[in-house]
Structure 1
Amino acid sequence: MEKHSVKQSAGALYLESARILKRIEKKLGCAKGLIYGSKFGDKRKLYAIIYEVLKYREVINEIIVQSRLMAYEKIEWHLAQVLVYDLCFGRGIRCGGKLKFIIIRQRDRLRSALDRIMSCRQAVRKEDLASSSSIMASGIPRYVRVNTLKMTKVKAIERFIANGFQYIPSDLVYNAGTVDITKLREKIFTSDIHIENLLVLPPKSDLHDNEMYLNGEVVLQDKASCIPAFTLNPPPQSCIIDACAAPGNKTSHLASIIGNVGKIYAFDISPNRIKTMRELLDKAGVTCVDLKRRNFLNVNVMEYEDVEYILLDPSCSGSGIVDRGDINAESKKLCNANKNRLQSLADFQLKALKQALSFPSVKKVVYSTCSMNVEENEEVVEAALKVFGNKYKLIPVLEDWPYRGMSGYAHWKFMFRSSPKTSTTGFFVALFSRITDQQTKLNTFFKRKASFHRSLLENYDSNTKRKRKKIKRFLRFKRKNISSDKEA
């Protein structure tokens, strides 16, 4: 396992950021997972600088090339990206020693390259040089989920108002089910119209230093990411599995829904992610979760025969995420260039979904991804229904939502899709509900009844009256049979 510094100095921050950027470029993980798995203590600073470097990565690379920085100095490329960002777009070089000396020595060349690029692109502000995916993300509100294990929504609203925010009714902000971002001016906030206990703030609201966030009373979680737990909606005292649980926001959301009354088994195979998830859940006041360092695909379903609800949000291409700088674009390029990788992901997702649907007592299974690819979404769901269609049916997710699945698939109207058009990141959700034995009997009964009626019409003759009596006797027998089964 790679060893890296856990110090909190600016130099350590730069080195750890460069290490993670290198791993992202090599497709060894996504930014969020690598940051949560890092041993660097201040995740907020680490996330902030990596996100900003990714946001400006294209122009940073151009600055490095035009200034010939690598020809003049012996410095690793990704470390150069971090240092150039802080010099040209950030707060200035915050470390001392050799790294600072290198950048100060090349400062004039680097800033001249930035000026030439801005002039060439006719950019008025540095912000105009940001990647298109980051510009798209700037139009998505900051969603804040109130952690009801520690605070009520009313109390959270009061605290935001005390911090200088102004609350306005939802109907002044929402239009046809989506947020009108122009109504969310600075310090204006409202409640979401779909998700209970979700607040909507202006896009650039920075709450990382907010006391409620630091205490775990509120969670910074995109609306689309809240949909899976909200859709599953298990009652208190339920037994639940979060199959691919890290980093743990959906797990803590499930815990708040059941009020810590019940049991949640949260699975992940990475020890670092398990450790990070434990810290997050402790901060949120979650006490009903049993963390399992296991591969969900290898779980014996009979070990968990009391489980009734499963949330499955497996690894995916991440092509729906727009708030991670160029990662979204890189993911799309990778999937377009490497169909084998996309197929490999889809195969894994289908195996995981089949595993979830195999638990003997499960009533509901939510399948979700942060991908926009039909191979990982509609095709996985339809393939699972071909195997389990006699046991499960799809239930519509948020019926008043303006966007459904991709048309052309048999069950597309039952599926949920979101994107920046809906003022969220890109997400896909499907809800499977078990068909009960009683429903199966009734379905069989009505099919037979319809068959007899068709037969009656097709074979109309002088003996019709006698045939009708036979049908009536059969129907009375079936009703009595189903009624007695129901009472038993």
Structure 2
Amino acid sequence: MANQNQLKTQVNTRNIALTILQSIFQDQAYTHVAIDHYFKMHKGLSKQDRAFITRLVEGTVEHCITLDYIINQFSKTKTPKMKKIILYILRLAVYQIKYMDKVPISAICNEAVKLTKKRKFHPLSGFVNGVLRTIGRKLDEVVYPKEVHDPIQYLSIMYSFPEWLIRLWLKHYPYDTVKEMCENSNKTVDTTIRCNTTRTTAYALKKELEAENITVEQGYLLDDALHIKDYDHLRAVQAFKEGKFSVQDESSMLVGHLASPKNGQRIMDVCAAPGGKSTHVAELMGNTGQVLARDIYPKKLELLEENVKRLHLKNVEIQAYNALEIDKDMVGQADIVLVDAPCSGLGIIRKKPDIRYNIHEEGIKELVCLQKDILKVVQQYVKPEGILMYSTCTVNPEENQNNVTWFTRNYPFDLVPIQDELPEPLEEDERGMIQLLPGFHHTDGFFIAKLKKRAVDLYE
């Protein structure tokens, strides 16, 4: 009976994974959003089931190019010509065959055939069975590109990155660095959290989480950062419900620390949702002053409001506002303006693996223009001798260093050296900016520049 129940659970979990994959590949839903949405709608899933589904979905998306390459070695019908649902079933199964060696290949094939029939594709069940059993027997015979002969195709197939993206990175970084970025972007990482210092201390929070049998490690760079794993889901963690911490990468937390907000200051976050940086500076000011947290998307603002309430912050004012439109009443009023600009997200692929398939070169060019347009407007809010923090979660210099160079040439701002404020072993570049690469310092890929407005008459 136990084996039958276990098999039933496996069938259900694979079918759930397939449903989530459909929303990711067909509707271009973000992987983490699609998974979280399904779990919210189906709260009866066990911790083990959620963990299996999450790994299966994230792994399949993460290794999609590699999986298709393997499938095409053994299937007469190539992946672009397959029915979508059959392709997704094959991807799920090949991921298990290649990366989950504790699952018997025969069971993987059988479950894939059952899924094919369950989705009303009975005539193709033999095709699915034949392709998967052949791959199971001959996986070690797959011929991969040779790094020495075609390094771009090698990185693309071995690490599942589009070739155009590899070429883009190679324009700006050495080959070995790009290879390590690809490798790090495919690694599973623990959840990084930021202690809400208005409600507890990192030491006390660590002890509280450990009492719930959650594995906790101290942050690598910052004292108020912790890394956690072995928990079911955040909404079930008592300390989370009580607003004692937020999820935020240490790279993103650096923005608040480098901004050095003082109690009572007025801060604007012009692209605020879901609120990591807004709530962080609000905490750093000890619930004093004012943080104007603005964004254009209503659903994201709802999430921001939810986070502010959960964290018991009284100094955050949430506003629906388009960063491209000038608010004349705020000109010259902000001590600090945070500009976490919309970007390509190429630094957070390890957490959002679908990004590598959904972003394109033309889209990046449009983003560069959008970032400049936002800066043109929001720089007006900074007081003379005030601070503008520009950040992105990408590793693309066109969106980062190049934008800052353009900005300082056209507006009365100067880069502020940040080396003395950076935790070891981080180093600013020759101009005073910092570019973190994914995984190199246990962080996401992230860019930060701190700029100070010159003491000029705003109305000259």
- Is TM (by shorter chain) over 0.5? yes
Report the counterpart of residue 136 of structure 1 in structure 2. 184
The structure whose Rg is larger is 1
| Match in the other structure for 1:76 | 85
Describe the SS at the equivalent of 1:195. coil
Residue 139 (structure 2) aligned to one of 118, 126, 130: 118
Structure 1 pair 42–69 and aligned structure 2 pair: CA distance change class (3 A): farther
CA distance in 1, matches of 2:280, 2:88: 37
Q: Which residue of structure 1 lines up, in the alignment, with residue 372 of structure 2?
A: 350
Task: State yes or no: 1:109 paired with 2:118.
Answer: no
- Counterpart of 1:162 (choices 180, 200, 211) is 211
Report the counterpart of residue 418 of structure 2 in structure 1. Answer: 396
Amino acid at match of 1:435: R
> Is 2:338 aligned against 1:311?
yes
Q: Does 1:190 align with 2:218?
A: yes
Q: Is the 1:240–1:308 Cα contact (8 Å) retained in structure 2?
A: yes
Residues 336-391 of structure 1, C-alpha deviations (whole Å, 9 max, x = no match): xx4xx4332222112222322211537211100112122111111111111223x5
Residues 376-395 of structure 1 mapped to structure 2, 5 A cutoff: 376-389=399-412, 391-395=413-417
Q: Counterpart amino acid of 2:368?
A: A
The structural deviation recorded for 1:415 is: 0.6
Change (3 A) 1:113 1:140: same
SS in 2 for 1:80: helix
Partner of 1:251: 278
CA–CA separation in structure 2 for the residues paired with 1:402 and 1:344? 34
Counterpart CA distance in 2 for 1:392 and 1:380 is: 13
Q: Give deviations 1:97-137, integer Å, cap 9, x for gaps.
A: 823986987664354244246312599xxxx9875767414
The one-letter code matched in structure 2 to 1:148 is: T
Whether the aligned pair in 2 keeps the contact of 1:403 and 1:417 (CA below 8 Å) is no
Shift in Å, 1:237: 2.9
Partner of 2:302: 275
Cα 1:405–1:416 change in 2 (3 A) is same
TM-aligned CA distance change 1:229 to 1:39, over 3 Å: farther
The corresponding residue for 1:415 is 433
Q: Give the whole-Å Cα distance in 1 for the aligned partners of 2:239 and 2:67.
A: 32
Alignment match, 1:98? 118
1:315 deviates by 1.2
Unaligned runs of 5+ in 2: 1-11, 43-49, 145-156, 161-178
Change (3 A) 1:53 1:275: farther
Secondary structure of the equivalent of 1:298?
coil
Of 304-313 and 85-94, the range deviating more from structure 2: 85-94
Decide whether the 8 Å contact of 1:134 with 1:323 is kept in 2. Answer: no
State the alpha-carbon separation in 2 of the partners of residues 68 and 376 from structure 1. Answer: 42
Q: Structure 2 CA distance, aligned partners of 1:241 and 1:361?
A: 11
Corresponding residue number in structure 2 for 1:153 = 202
Deviation of 1:157 after TM superposition, in Å, equals 2.0
CA shift, 1:9, in A, is 9.5
Contact 1:53–1:81 (8 Å) recurs in 2: no
Change (3 A) 1:326 1:110: farther
Name the CA distance, whole Å, in 1 between partners of 2:279 and 2:285.
10
* CA shift digits 1:113-165 (9 cap, x unpaired): 44246312599xxxx98757674143866533222344321211212443567
C-alpha distance in 1 between matches for 2:39 and 2:208: 31
Calculate the TM-score normalised by the size of structure 2: 0.68
Summarize the Cα distance change of 1:221–1:113 in structure 2 as closer, same or farther, 3 Å threshold: farther
Code of the residue aligned with 2:22 in structure 1: it is A
Deviation at 1:429, TM superposition (A): 0.2
1:81 deviates by 6.1
Q: CA RMSD in A?
A: 4.3
Superposition deviation, residue 392 in structure 1: 4.3
Contact 2:222 2:423 in 1 (8 A): no
Gaps of 5+ in 1: 1-7, 166-186, 407-411, 439-488
Change (3 A) 1:243 1:188: closer
TM-aligned CA distance change 1:347 to 1:59, over 3 Å: closer
Judge conservation of contact 1:370–1:428 (CA < 8 Å) in 2.
yes
How high is the TM-score relative to the length of structure 1?
0.64
Q: Distance in 1 between matches of 2:23 and 2:271?
A: 25
- Counterpart CA distance in 2 for 1:232 and 1:392 is 14
Residue of structure 2 equivalent to 1:175: none
Q: How does 1:46-85 map to 2 (within 5 A)?
A: 50-62=57-69, 65=72, 66=74, 75-76=84-85, 79-80=88-89, 83-84=92-93
Distance apart, 1:399 and its partner CA = 4.4
The total of aligned residue pairs comes to 386
- Is the partner of 1:316 in helix, strand or coil? coil
2:445 aligns to what? 426
Change (3 A) 1:287 1:10: farther
- Deviation per CA, 1:206-226, whole angstroms, max 9, x where unpaired? 445362565243333221121
